[in-house]
Structure 1
Amino acid sequence: MADLTSKQRAHLRGLAHSLKPLAHIGKEGVTEAAVHALRQTFDTHELVKVRVLEAAPEPAKETAHALAARVSGAAVVQVVGRNATLYRPDPDEPTIRLP
């Protein structure tokens, strides 16, 4: 996916504000199991919040970009503290309309 514009990121940040983290990255870091779980989450959600636990080997920003790189079409919306928000439009029926 192409990089998001600042207007698109702002729109997605607003939508993600009330979301709870659906995926957690622990002491193992970005593993194949974590990437697989995130792909499955993207099957039902276009916008996903990921919690990077304190035991994770890399900072939240690096972890978010590593996840986005391993899930095709995913983009990092924002990283706040230990929470990262990732976006991937549904390939068939996108529900989120970007400005």
Structure 2
Amino acid sequence: MNCPLNGPRNISEFVWGGEVKPMPDETKLSDREWAEYVFLENNTAGVVREWWCHVPTSFWFIAERNTVTDEIVKTYPASEVFKARVDFAPKSERAKP
């Protein structure tokens, strides 16, 4: 796989981190809805944007992978998609279940 930071590396150096999906407003979610966001995947057949980590450097990036053929189509830094950091509200301000 081509790591955007380190170049082409053996696939054994990477771990999959799940699908890239829009982050919901954590102040309006129940614990169940938050768990669904974190743990459930769409399992779409075709090209999907996914989080991957190059383990030796702990560098997280995005890969577009065809889930039918397992081909890595493209890799790029997460900064190309996410332009700002997300600040989480203090636990006392989050929605109650």
TM-score range, shorter chain: under 0.3
Between Structure 1 and Structure 2, which shows a larger proportion of strand residues? 2
Between Structure 1 and Structure 2, which shows a larger proportion of helix residues? 1
- Larger Rg belongs to: 2
